[in-house]
């Protein structure tokens, strides 16, 4: 290993991959990405076997405490209304995500200006638009232009087929006069970027063995590697040393043998997720930063936003093959996305239409909820539920609150002895009203479609996928951790380029916006590279 | 009382739907691979005790209704264990290729062909489009 490189990127997930690709377009730069997990082999994903749903409960679980891989770190959710989910490996959580890929909306960047809640972002939707477009080209995003919930889109592949169940809901949306549209999906519907179209295997959330889902290990990374980025997997960064001039000198990490190493760099870029990034900063203590790097104003780890979900399920009388197709991508509605004062809450939510549950999920949830009995009536009840049911997730905007936070948990450590995290998180009254409203509207929709409600509740406990806000962006260093370029206020050669910097959460899956933001930040870094790299 | 007998009761065959029983498919062996032997022993021990207490009879001599009632009562002794065992039985049954084919779950891995979905009629979106933009502009 070279004694010093130009740029170290910590984390190879959605943002780390986009950063590696963008920055390595300058072939003069030496760039190393350090990733704590291993590279996955799609040929060994659970869905290559008939019993893939067993692995979903274990090795492919989205709960790191269940998965307990060497790369995972303990997460104590005991003081949180929602349990956090992630995947620690090459490609990050895009390996297990559903591929639902909407952008933030113009109003999401101006919540204070419009609604007097939270704070505005230092730039607007228009500023991010070229980066959204660039990112969607790289990831391969299916959808349909003309959506009335957004300004115009570019670069969309044909939409993912909605399926017979969603068609019933679409007709119901129309009768109610509500917005709906085909989902924006990072799923190839035709050959794109040397990847094949989706053949509707369905269980995207355990890894797409076919390669149609746009996870960054097969989108950004092949090109970034060709452009010269070196990736070091199974290496865990645990400290970012800072010199007396307040410059990061590189990173300390444990290599795959558990030996401590140091790699020097001119520029350090963090992309470890909304919990991994603050965890690393909090663990990087020094005389200058006794409470953790960039944490002299007690901001690192705070303002955690998670998108609390409500879930409503309907069951149709007739079989509709609802379990067939990409599980998380079909149609969606933003009828209730923008603030309307008479609803009694600020901001709004997305109605995210999901496909029906899988065979094992149907049987197990049916047993737990007593909808499907054991014994001689089991098969009849199962046959009236499986392929008849559909779920709708109400994805609420989560407003920032400093008390919602993560902190280091010294009582539980990872495989290298680094502290795990403890989560402190509760729902705002505004969020509760929003979710209750969402449940009522979704029930109305299912009734209009002719389905019977079989479940309706909030918050969904094991749904903390969207990790945002824990090193917020802003102009004032006493109120934010990084500036409008993702550059740390207090350490000028340290950047954070993931969703940790989000100021607000929107009410859509964050990855499209996170990656667009990464590309914007890296554009700035690239244009000003001589400020850090001689 | 064995795991196999338990499976006979909770997942019997259904000829009207052409569904095999769990024991027809030797699901007990798959379940045994998912569980520790002690877990199965403890589970059956709890069930037998409940049968004795509730019906003063052995589990294997109960009719289906009484047997299923024993499972419900057993949850009061160890709800985590009972639910876990039942869910592992359901998982083993509903990951069997034969079952997946019979219930219509589409292509069964290793997915040679995938699944087809019918073409969509996007003219359905005319109503939405004609109502015009709904996003808020920031001026």
What residue spans define the domains of chain B?
Answer: 3-106
- Residue A95 reports pLDDT greater than 70: yes
Q: Which of A161, A179, A319 faces B128 most closely, judged by CB atoms? A: A179
Rounded CA-CA distance A132/A513 in Å is 7
Report pLDDT for A16: 98
* Alpha carbon separation from A230 to A29, A169, A221, A519 (Å, rounded): 11, 47, 10, 19
Nearest Cα neighbor of A439 from A508, A398, A393, A388 is A393
Per-residue confidence band for B125, with pLDDT thresholds at 50, 70 and 90: very high
Q: Which of A57-61, A66-70, A80-84, B58-62 has the lowest mean pLDDT?
A: A57-61
Number of folded domains that form chain A: 1
Contact between residue A336 and residue A441 where contact means Cβ atoms under 8 Å apart: yes
* Alpha carbon separation from A320 to B18, B105, B123 (Å, rounded): 20, 11, 21
Question: Which residues of chain A from 110 to 169 reach within 8 Å of chain B, CB to CB?
Answer: 110, 113-114, 124-125, 144, 146, 148-151, 159, 161-164, 167
- The answer to whether residue A87 neighbours chain B at the CB level (below 8 Å) is no
Rounded CA-CA distance A329/A343 in Å is 28
Instruction: Using DSSP bridges, classify how beta strands A4-10 and A31-34 pair: parallel, antiparallel or unpaired.
Output: parallel
Contacts of A334 in chain B (CB under 8 A): 134-135
Residue in the structure block whose two tokens are 């019979």 = B102
Cβ-based neighbours of A160, under 8 Å, separated by 6 or more: A142, A182, A183, A185, A187, A189, A198, A325, A326, A329, A330
Contacts of A151 in chain B (CB under 8 A): 135
Residue A364 neighbours by CB distance under 10 Å: 22
The secondary structure element, H or E, covering residue A141 is strand A141-142
Q: Which of A94-98, A357-361, B57-61 has the lowest mean pLDDT?
A: B57-61
Task: Read off the DSSP letter of residue A37.
Answer: S
Contact between residue A18 and residue A94 where contact means Cβ atoms under 8 Å apart: no
Q: Work out the average pLDDT over A200-212.
A: 89
- The answer to whether residue A177 neighbours chain B at the CB level (below 8 Å) is yes
Q: Which of A49, A358, A367 faces B86 most closely, judged by CB atoms? A: A367
Rounded CA-CA distance B135/A150 in Å is 6
Q: Is residue A381 one of the residues assigned to a domain?
A: no
User: Can you state the angle between helices B64-93 and A359-368, rounded to 10 degrees?
Assistant: 150
SS3 of A379-426: HHHHHHHCCCEEEEEEEECCCCCCCCEEEEEEEEECCCCCEEEEEEEC
Rounded CA-CA distance A514/B15 in Å is 53
Q: Do B68 and A373 touch (CB under 8 A)?
A: yes
Q: Do A159 and B122 touch (CB under 8 A)?
A: yes
- Residue A50 reports pLDDT greater than 90: no
Rounded CA-CA distance A41/B57 in Å is 53
The two tokens of residue A393 are: 């997730």
Per-residue confidence band for A1, with pLDDT thresholds at 50, 70 and 90: low
Contact between residue A505 and residue A401 where contact means Cβ atoms under 8 Å apart: no
Per-residue confidence band for A367, with pLDDT thresholds at 50, 70 and 90: very high
Rounded CA-CA distance A508/A505 in Å is 8
Q: Is residue A370 one of the residues assigned to a domain?
A: no
- Residue to substitute from A156, A199, A341, A389, interface B, most B β-carbons within 10 A: A199
Rounded CA-CA distance A398/A78 in Å is 20
Rounded CA-CA distance A471/A466 in Å is 15
Residue in chain B closest to A126 (alpha carbons) equals B138
Contacts of A360 in chain B (CB under 8 A): 90-91, 94-95
* A231-A232-A238 Cα angle (round to 5): 125
ipTM of the complex: 0.95
Residue A398 domain boundaries: 4-356+388-531
- The answer to whether residue A359 neighbours chain B at the CB level (below 8 Å) is yes
CATH of the domain at A244: 3.50.50.60
Report pLDDT for A2: 54
Per-residue confidence band for B103, with pLDDT thresholds at 50, 70 and 90: very high
B27-41: per-residue pLDDT in tens? 999 999 889 999 999
Helix ranges (H only) for A141-298 are: 163-176, 220-226, 273-283
Cβ-based neighbours of A226, under 8 Å, separated by 6 or more: none
**What's phi and psi for B49, nearest 5 deg?**
-65, -40
The two tokens of residue A140 are: 């391969």
Which of the two residues, B33 and A11, has the higher pLDDT score?
A11
Q: Is residue A366 one of the residues assigned to a domain?
A: no
- Residue A58 reports pLDDT greater than 90: no
Per-residue confidence band for B111, with pLDDT thresholds at 50, 70 and 90: low
A15-33: per-residue pLDDT in tens? 999 999 999 999 999 999 9
- The answer to whether residue A58 neighbours chain B at the CB level (below 8 Å) is no
Rounded CA-CA distance A92/A252 in Å is 21
- The answer to whether residue B91 neighbours chain A at the CB level (below 8 Å) is yes
């Amino acid at each position: 290993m070279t004694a010093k490189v130009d740029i170290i990127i910590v984390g190879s997930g959605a943002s780390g991959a986009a950063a590696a690709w963008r920055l390595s377009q300058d072939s003069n730069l030496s760039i190393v990405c350090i990733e704590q997990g291993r590279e996955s082999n799609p040929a060994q994903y659970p869905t290559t076997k008939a019993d893939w749903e067993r692995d979903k409960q274990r090795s492919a679980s989205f709960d790191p405490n269940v998965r307990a891989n060497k790369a995972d770190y303990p997460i104590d959710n005991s003081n949180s209304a929602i349990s956090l989910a992630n995947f620690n490996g090459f490609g990050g959580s895009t390996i297990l995500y559903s591929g639902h890929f909407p952008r933030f909306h113009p109003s999401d960047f101006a919540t204070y200006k419009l609604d007097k809640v939270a704070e505005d972002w230092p730039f607007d939707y228009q500023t991010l638009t070229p980066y959204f477009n660039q990112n969607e080209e790289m990831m391969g995003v299916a959808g349909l232009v003309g959506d009335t919930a957004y300004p115009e889109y570019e670069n969309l592949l044909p939409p993912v087929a909605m399926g017979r169940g969603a068609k019933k809901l679409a007709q119901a949306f129309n009768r109610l006069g509500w917005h709906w549209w085909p989902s924006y999906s990072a799923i190839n519907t035709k050959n794109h970027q040397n990847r094949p179209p989706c053949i509707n295997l369905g269980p995207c959330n355990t890894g797409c063995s076919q390669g149609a889902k746009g996870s960054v290990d097969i989108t950004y990374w092949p090109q970034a590697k060709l452009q010269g980025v070196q990736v070091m997997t199974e290496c865990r960064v645990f400290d970012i040393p800072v010199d007396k001039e307040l410059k990061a000198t590189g990173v300390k990490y444990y290599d795959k043998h558990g030996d401590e190493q140091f790699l020097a760099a001119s520029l350090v870029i963090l992309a470890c997720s909304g919990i991994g990034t603050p965890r690393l900063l909090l663990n990087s203590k020094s005389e200058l930063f006794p409470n953790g790097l960039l944490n002299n104003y007690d901001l690192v780890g705070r303002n955690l936003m998670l998108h609390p979900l409500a879930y409503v399920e309907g069951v149709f009388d007739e079989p509709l093959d609802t379990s067939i197709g990409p599980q998380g991508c079909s149609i969606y509605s933003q009828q209730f996305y923008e603030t309307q004062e008479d609803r009694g809450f600020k901001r709004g939510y997305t109605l995210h239409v999901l496909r029906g549950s899988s065979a094992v999920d149907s049987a197990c949830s049916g047993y737990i909820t007593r909808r499907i009995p054991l014994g001689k009536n089991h098969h009849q009840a199962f046959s009236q539920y499986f392929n008849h049911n559909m779920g709708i997730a109400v994805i609420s905007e989560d407003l920032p609150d400093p008390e919602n936070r993560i902190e280091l948990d010294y009582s539980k450590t990872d495989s290298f002895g680094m502290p795990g995290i403890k989560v402190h998180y509760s729902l705002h009254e505004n969020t509760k009203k929003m979710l209750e409203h969402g449940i009522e509207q979704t029930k109305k929709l299912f009734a209009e479609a002719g389905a019977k409600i079989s479940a309706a509740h909030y918050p969904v406990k094991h749904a903390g996928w969207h990790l945002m806000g824990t090193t917020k962006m802003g102009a004032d260093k006493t109120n934010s951790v990084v500036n409008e370029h993702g550059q740390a206020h207090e350490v000028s050669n340290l950047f954070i380029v993931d969703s940790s910097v989000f100021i607000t959460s929107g009410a859509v899956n964050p990855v499209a916006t996170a990656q667009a933001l990464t590309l914007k930040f890296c554009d700035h870094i690239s244009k000003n590279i001589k400020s850090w790299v001689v | 009382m064995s795991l196999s007998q338990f499976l006979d009761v909770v997942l019997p065959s259904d000829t009207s739907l052409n569904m095999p029983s769990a024991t027809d498919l030797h699901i007990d062996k798959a379940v045994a691979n998912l569980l520790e032997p002690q877990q199965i022993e403890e589970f059956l021990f709890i069930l037998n005790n409940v049968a004795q207490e509730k019906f003063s009879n052995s589990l294997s001599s109960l009719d289906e209704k009484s047997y299923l009632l024993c499972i419900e009562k057993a949850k009061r002794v160890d709800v985590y264990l009972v639910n876990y065992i039942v869910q592992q039985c359901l998982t083993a049954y509903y990951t069997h290729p034969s079952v997946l084919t019979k219930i219509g779950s589409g292509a069964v891995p290793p997915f040679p062909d995938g699944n087809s979905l019918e073409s969509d009629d996007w003219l359905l979106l005319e109503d939405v489009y004609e109502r015009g933009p709904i996003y808020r502009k920031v001026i």
